[in-house]
Structure 1
Amino acid sequence: MENTVGDFLRSRRARIRPEEVGLPSYGRRRVQGLRREEVAQLAGVSVDYYIRLEQGRGSSASDTVLAAVARVLRLDEVEAAHLRVLARPPGAAAASRGGRPIREGTRLLLDLMTGVPAFVLGRRMDVLAWNALGDAVQGFSAAPPELRNAARHTFLDPAARAFYPRWEAVAAETVAYLRLDAGRHPEDAELAALVGELSVRSEEFRRLWADHPVRQKTHGVKLIRHPLVGELDFGYETLGVNGCAEQMLVTYTAPPGSPTAQKLAMLASWTTSGEPVAAE
């Protein structure tokens, strides 16, 4: 899978103009942004050391060196953590080949959240389980099994652009999280296959993936155009499932009395079962 530390560092060097870091911008430059020699100079390391880092031979790089490179390239907290993972990747034994099953306690929690759309995401953005209101909003049970994956749904489902009025923002967020997952699990063959599939079938995915964005999926806003009740303007919160590090509980929220809350109540009244549904 294409996911090297060199690709990431080159993409970040290209974002910075020399004059932004006090370097002259005149003269002919063969690369966009900073040269490797300039990054090395500003970070206080030798050019040879930095080149080895970009070539993926920096597994012994110290936190101090990586922090200096992150400072020069103006990486945010998530990007800096991603750099540390790429520069010092975990061994192949640490790569997950599958997801843990949903705990009964997590299923019960989904069941009890009758007024909140909720679902559980696992590795590679697979949708593992959902509650009745989450299904009423997202339509998980009606989707083909291969589209019960947030990345596939976003880029390969023809209905996704209408479902997400701000599709470009959803697409960018999806790629940024998938990039983060790829950095943590460089030996994951299933993730490599997913990235390969999306790259072949979606030009937009290829373009976004090449930019090497990284971002945690913690909270934000999500606008959905529902086929029955119209636009739903949600906030979302993503919560880790204790004891299952690769599972996340995603909840959609709306202020009481808001138009979205009223539409949710309507959807809830149409829902006959409050039991969570697990993907087969």
Structure 2
Amino acid sequence: MDRHEFGDAVRQLRERTSPAAVGLPVGRRRVQGLRREELGELAGMSADYVRRLEQGRSHPSAGVVNAIARGMRIGRAEYERLCALAGYAAADGQVPNEVGPGATRLLERFADTPMFVSDAAMNLLAVNSAFVALGHWGLTGDPWEWNVAWRTFCDPFDGFRQSSADANDHEAVLVARLRSALLRYPADASLAALVDELRSRSRPFDTLWRTPRPVAAHESSAAFLHPEGGAVTLVGSMLAIPGDDLAALMLTAAPGSTDAARLAEIVSVTEEPAIIRVGQLGPG
């Protein structure tokens, strides 16, 4: 481990943590975030020890890392990062799948923009009503029917068309995300089973897994064929939600285009709830 890098990460988290977020009074403050004394009290250690940690003069135990994470109530992704910097595996190594407040607000505030939230293994966790209105995500009965990579490589959508260039970029992103997830969550049996199944069932996936292709862009274009006829071309842009290790995909049309008008028409008639929790993680 690099003690100085770990110390810098702790200091940055301390300075970014609002006292109110951890149940402390705000009052008048001369420093940003938490004081070392406050972090020490929350984590059950002295302010001097916090100082030595931040200066890279002490090696943290796994218990210390967990205490700091609990004290500042940090998200899953930051906890994983602290563990890695300290040289430890995370406590359980499972892919987090809680749709937190940040992801919920995104889905609520962009009600007219088709959007879904997925976990690090590319399992859909929640969608908004505009996404459902597109009508392209049919259920298949497969164990991973809500997994983007599975549907792309093993059971492609009937109402979804991409150019070769966009499809190549999309596939490269999916494989890169799954490789990263498997490195971060090596103990997640469902994720390992998904990757094994994809490698067994899809030659293109296995080829990309063995010889990764550079990711040219984290967005791609696709034509969605609506069940009632007609197509609408949308661009998918991925947004990271780092605190929860989730991602959101927004589907947008060019402003003022025929596709934008068609999308508005499709979305306007939906009667689905604003946010719909979906997904089935792994087989069974």
Q: Say if 1:201 and 1:249 are closer, same or farther in 2 by CA, change over 3 A.
A: same
**Would the aligned equivalents of 1:179 and 1:213 in 2 still touch at CA under 8 Å?**
no
**Match in the other structure for 1:191:** 191
Deviation at 1:195, TM superposition (A): 0.8
1:182 paired with 2:182, answer: yes
Bigger CA drift: 170-179 or 225-234? 225-234
Deviation at 1:138, TM superposition (A): 5.9
**Match in the other structure for 1:44:** none
Q: Deviations over 1:63-90 (max 9, x none)?
A: xxxxxxxxxxxxxxxxxxxxxxxxx996
Bigger CA drift: 133-142 or 187-196? 133-142
Q: Say if 1:90 and 1:205 are closer, same or farther in 2 by CA, change over 3 A.
A: farther
Task: Write the distance in 2 (CA, Å) between the matches of 1:90 and 1:267.
Answer: 50
**Would the aligned equivalents of 2:129 and 2:275 in 1 still touch at CA under 8 Å?**
yes
1:149 paired with 2:177, answer: no
Task: Write the distance in 2 (CA, Å) between the matches of 1:274 and 1:93.
Answer: 36
Task: Write the distance in 1 (CA, Å) between the matches of 2:176 and 2:149.
Answer: 11
Task: Write the distance in 2 (CA, Å) between the matches of 1:243 and 1:148.
Answer: 22
> Which amino acid in structure 2 is aligned with residue 188 of structure 1?
D
Q: Say if 1:139 and 1:255 are closer, same or farther in 2 by CA, change over 3 A.
A: same
**Match in the other structure for 2:220:** 221
Task: Write the distance in 1 (CA, Å) between the matches of 2:97 and 2:201.
Answer: 29
Deviation at 1:250, TM superposition (A): 1.5
**Would the aligned equivalents of 2:94 and 2:188 in 1 still touch at CA under 8 Å?**
yes
1:117 paired with 2:97, answer: no
TM-score, scaled relative to structure 2: 0.57
Correspondence list, 1:16-31, <5 A: none
Q: Which runs of 5+ in 1 are unaligned?
A: 1-87
Task: Write the distance in 2 (CA, Å) between the matches of 1:226 and 1:90.
Answer: 48
1:99 paired with 2:93, answer: no
Structure 1 residue runs of 4 or more that deviate by more than 6 Å after TM superposition: none
Number of residues of Structure 1 aligned to a counterpart in Structure 2: 190
**Match in the other structure for 2:37:** none
Task: Write the distance in 1 (CA, Å) between the matches of 2:122 and 2:271.
Answer: 28
Q: Percent same amino acid among aligned pairs?
A: 30
TM-score, scaled relative to structure 1: 0.58
**Would the aligned equivalents of 1:120 and 1:247 in 2 still touch at CA under 8 Å?**
yes
**Match in the other structure for 1:136:** 133
Give the alignment's Cα RMSD to 1 decimal. 3.0
Deviation at 1:153, TM superposition (A): 0.8
**Would the aligned equivalents of 1:135 and 1:141 in 2 still touch at CA under 8 Å?**
no
Correspondence list, 1:16-55, <5 A: none
Bigger CA drift: 115-124 or 205-214? 205-214
1:127 paired with 2:124, answer: yes
**Would the aligned equivalents of 1:129 and 1:279 in 2 still touch at CA under 8 Å?**
yes
Q: Which runs of 5+ in 2 are unaligned?
A: 1-84, 280-284
Correspondence list, 1:155-170, <5 A: 155-159=153-157, 163-166=160-163, 167-170=167-170
Task: Write the distance in 1 (CA, Å) between the matches of 2:180 and 2:239.
Answer: 17
**Would the aligned equivalents of 1:152 and 1:198 in 2 still touch at CA under 8 Å?**
yes
